[in-house]
Amino acid sequence: MLNFNKKIKQLVLVLLDIFMVGGALFLALHLRFEGHVPPQFFENMERLFLPFVVIHLTIFLFFGLYRRLWRYASVDELVLITLAVFLGSAGSYAYSYFSELMLPRSVYMIFFFLLLLLLGGSRLSLRLLADYLRGRGSKGGHKRVLIIGAGDAGVLVAGELKKNQPRLNTSVVGFIDDNPNKRGQIINGIPVLGAREELPAVVEDKNIDEVIIAIPSAPYSQLRRIIDICRELPVKLSTVPGIYEILEGNINFTQLKEVEIEDLLRRPPVKVDIKEIAGYLAGRTVLVTGAGGSIGSELCRQVAMLGPSRLLMLDHDENGIFYVNQEMRKRYPQLSIVPLVRDIQDRPSLQKVMELFQPQVIFHAAAYKHVPLMELNAEEAVKNNVLGSKNLIDLAESCGVQKLVVVSTDKAVNPSSVMGSTKRATEIYMQYRARHNGRCTYCAVRFGNVLGSRGSVVTLFKEQIQKGGPVEVTHPDMTRFFMTIPEAVQLVIQAGALGGNGEIFILDMGEPVKIVELARDMIVLSGLQPGRDIEIKYTGIRPGEKLFEDLFSDRESFKVTRHERIFVAPDTFSSEEEIRDELRKLGGRLDEDLEMLLGLREMPENILRLKKQKQ
């Protein structure tokens, strides 16, 4: 049925073109002689009608004029019509010359312009008719859209929105652009209504429902100013992907990207040339623990791009490993990938893996991370985060691992929670082993909250906003350092290249961000207003949480590395007694003897002697 309708439409166009070729020839001859055509030329015209039609239709078929959707006609189609009509006129003139049925030369010129006008006008009419019918076919209550940026990206967005107007039910009202030369201009039928400072007045005057930021290369500061202006406006805010995605055609304008909170980091994103500094991974067997999690899976992705000989992905979460394994095998079919469902607390099983595959580099991302949850499950936090990490650190030394990078957290600084204390204990034990072995190079990476990770505050806020609120914030003054998952992973890989032994690397994450400000920004980005549409509710600080996080403790000095945004806290050289004290802080939270749990009998004898004296 579809093919039948298509052929009917093509037949109608062919008949229309036959009529226009004959009409253009008839009009051209009568215009040339001002309505008084000599009989011999009129007779020649009648004999030339059929050859003219055949020549033109043949050329039109060759140029594919009957296979195009004219409701989407553009300048390209106009150029194609011009070329086809020119070649048809030239072919008709040649036929007239050799068949000795010549008409005055001026007739051929008039014929060319008349046919071009008729043919181009008919196709343009189809486009205009389709636009008109699309407009009439749309239901009432259009979503009125304002586009910020009247450059190439903005014009492209406007064009795509107009094409998809019935489905999206949108109406592009105008552009906002700071370029004074564009003010008052009309671009593709859409006016430039003013500069960014006039945005509130334009939104109110034109009853705007949605604002689309179409400045893909806009710096953070400019984007932030636009967000601040829109904060108090009753509009939804969207943006488009980067300019390179636009140039490559890898975007769908009918599904505009929501402004992500990552775009609002209070600092420029950290850039690391991974390929330059990650040569230590090429051709090596690399083990990633916690590979099913947010950080671990991104580590697998970025490590895989650097040419390891084998990638071992280890996690006790069966589903997490299943999905990351499926993804990695599709993206890197040539890479040897081994998914391992193992628990780092199971030392014999972990040892078998180490002895069988002999990894040369380990990224240790496996840990329990949720602060309030670990307050209620302190024993499990210690078993997994400390004992499990201890298993890996010990086996790395005995199994010939060259480099081990431990993923830590800013919550390990002056810890107030079980989770933070377990991570600090792991740092201390890592540094202890770094001083007492000559085989493996150890280091740790300390960073703040990761945006977009499972269980992150951003994900929680999104869910609460979708449900209509309230958005729950623990305290109006609570602040955190934030970074994106790619930044965190780049820092981890960078640390492996920079690492001396026992050092802790820290990313310069800029100024801490108030959680309540993140909540307000996310509400605004959803096209809503805090307090009016979505309530912000303060729930109180949860067990183990701090109002403020630190990157360094008072005991730690720090220095810069060759990467300007990465700092290093050297080995604090904790004494054995200090190590014991740190571990005892955890012991006070548990019912069982933590020191026995950690197997301190493997540590120096004087620690055990101190323990016996205490008893």
Mean pLDDT over 225-241 rounds to 76
Question: Which residues span the domain enclosing 325?
Answer: 274-574
Q: Residue 283: is its pLDDT beyond 50?
A: yes
Residue 360 pLDDT class (50, 70, 90 cuts): very high
Q: Residue 353: is its pLDDT beyond 90?
A: yes
Any idea what the CATH number is for the domain that residue 510 is in?
A: 3.40.50.720
Name the DSSP class of 196. G
Query: Domain ends where: 86, 115, 136?
Result: 136
- Has residue 369 been placed in a domain? yes
Residue 474 pLDDT class (50, 70, 90 cuts): confident
- If asked whether residues 284 and 336 sit together in one domain, one would say yes
- Has residue 195 been placed in a domain? yes
Which residues neighbour 525 within 8 Å (Cβ) at sequence distance 6 or greater? 227, 237, 258, 259, 261
User: Three-state SS string across 274-305, please?
Assistant: HHHHCHHHCCCEEEEECCCCHHHHHHHHHHHC
Q: Which is more confident, 254 or 183?
A: 183
- Has residue 489 been placed in a domain? yes
- If asked whether residues 428 and 344 sit together in one domain, one would say yes
For the chain, first and last CA: distance in Å? 91
CA-based nearest residue to 321, from 300, 302, 336: 300
- If asked whether residues 175 and 203 sit together in one domain, one would say yes
- If asked whether residues 97 and 113 sit together in one domain, one would say yes
Tell me which range, 106-115, 152-161, 481-490, 563-572, is most confidently predicted by mean pLDDT.
Answer: 106-115
Which tokens is 90 given?
């030239």
- If asked whether residues 201 and 319 sit together in one domain, one would say no
Q: Which is more confident, 175 or 152?
A: 175
At which residue do the structure tokens 């980067």 appear? Answer: 242
Please name the helix (run of DSSP H) or strand (run of DSSP E) that holds residue 439, with its range, or none. Answer: none
Q: Residue 143: is its pLDDT beyond 60?
A: yes
Which tokens is 450 given?
């990761």
- If asked whether residues 255 and 279 sit together in one domain, one would say no
Burial class (CB in 10 A: 0-12, 13-18, 19+), 386: buried
CA distance 455 to 176: 38
For residue 461, is it left (φ>0), alpha (ψ between -120 and 50) or beta?
Answer: alpha
Encoded amino acid at 91, one letter: G
Q: Tell me, rounded to whole angstroms, the distance of Cα 110 from its chain centroid.
A: 56
Could you tell me which residues are beta bridge partners of residue 310? 285, 336
Q: Residue 597: is its pLDDT beyond 50?
A: no
CA distance 249 to 389: 46
Largest Cα span, the chain: 131
- If asked whether residues 289 and 253 sit together in one domain, one would say no
- Has residue 605 been placed in a domain? no
- If asked whether residues 79 and 153 sit together in one domain, one would say no
Q: Residue 329: is its pLDDT beyond 90?
A: yes
Distances (CA, A) of 392 to 198, 345, 410: 60, 9, 21
Q: Residue 384: is its pLDDT beyond 60?
A: yes
- Has residue 426 been placed in a domain? yes
Do 357 and 285 contact (CB within 8 A), yes or no?
yes
9 is catalytic: no
Query: Domain ends where: 75, 103, 136?
Result: 136
At which residue do the structure tokens 């019912």 appear? Answer: 591
Q: Which is more confident, 556 or 97?
A: 97
Lowest-pLDDT choice from 6-10, 23-27, 381-385: 6-10
CA-based nearest residue to 480, from 547, 424, 563, 382: 547
Which residues neighbour 15 within 8 Å (Cβ) at sequence distance 6 or greater? none
Averaged pLDDT score across all residues of the chain: 77
Burial 286-300 (b: 16+ CB within 10 A, else e): bbbbbbbbbbbbbbb
Helix (H, G, I), strand (E, B) or coil at 145: strand
Ranges assigned E (strand) in 515-604: 536-538, 559-560, 566-569
CA distance 45 to 47: 5
Backbone angles phi, psi at 148, to 5 degrees: -90, 115
- Has residue 600 been placed in a domain? no
Backbone angles phi, psi at 537, to 5 degrees: -115, 130
Tell me which range, 224-238, 298-312, 524-538, is most confidently predicted by mean pLDDT.
Answer: 298-312
pLDDT tens per residue, range 49-108: 888 989 988 888 888 777 765 555 566 677 888 888 899 889 888 988 888 888 888 888
- If asked whether residues 166 and 203 sit together in one domain, one would say yes
Tell me what pLDDT residue 258 has: 56
Tell me which range, 124-138, 309-323, 426-440, is most confidently predicted by mean pLDDT.
Answer: 309-323
Residue 248 pLDDT class (50, 70, 90 cuts): very low
CA distance 74 to 88: 21
Mean pLDDT over 492-514 rounds to 75
Q: Which is more confident, 81 or 168?
A: 81
Q: Which is more confident, 607 or 147?
A: 147
Query: Domain ends where: 136, 159, 183?
Result: 136
- Has residue 528 been placed in a domain? yes
Tell me what pLDDT residue 137 has: 45
Tell me what pLDDT residue 336 has: 94
Q: Which is more confident, 522 or 324?
A: 324
Mean pLDDT over 20-24 rounds to 87
- If asked whether residues 119 and 205 sit together in one domain, one would say no
Mean pLDDT over 512-538 rounds to 77
Backbone angles phi, psi at 163, to 5 degrees: -65, -35
- Has residue 568 been placed in a domain? yes
Structural domain count of the chain: 3
- If asked whether residues 255 and 283 sit together in one domain, one would say no
What is the pTM (predicted TM-score) of this model? 0.55
CA distance 198 to 205: 11
Which tokens is 199 given?
């945005």
Q: What is the length of the chain?
A: 615
- If asked whether residues 151 and 54 sit together in one domain, one would say no
Helix (H, G, I), strand (E, B) or coil at 151: coil
Residue 322 pLDDT class (50, 70, 90 cuts): very high
- Select which of 403, 411, 462, 546 is catalytic: 411
